[in-house]
């Protein structure tokens, strides 16, 4: 994933996150290395640009969430 693609997916994620109802933000949206991520935990990973953030964004893109 290039830096430009990462930034585009990051922006799409933040836009989607803002539109998700608060009660749904605790639902699991991705599983990376057998570790579940909710909207909240995925948001924290993506905000901090962790290595897991790239995997989360890639998975959400593949299933067309973003």
Chain segment 12-58, per-residue pLDDT in tens: 999 999 999 999 999 999 999 999 999 999 999 999 999 999 999 99
Please report the pLDDT score of residue 3 as a whole number: 87
With tokens 């901090």, the residue in question is 48
Query: Is the predicted pLDDT of residue 1 greater than 90, yes or no?
Result: no
Tokens 């909207």 belong to residue: 39
Instruction: Give pLDDT, residue 47.
Output: 97
Residue 34 has what pLDDT? Answer: 96
Tell me the longest C-alpha to C-alpha distance in the chain. Answer: 33
């Amino acid at each position: 994933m290039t830096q430009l693609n990462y930034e585009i997916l990051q922006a799409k994620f933040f836009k989607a996150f803002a539109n998700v109802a608060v009660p749904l933000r605790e639902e699991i949206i991705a599983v990376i290395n057998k570790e579940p991520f909710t909207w909240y935990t995925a948001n924290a990973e993506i905000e901090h640009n962790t290595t897991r953030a790239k995997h989360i964004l890639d998975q959400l893109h593949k299933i067309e969430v973003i």
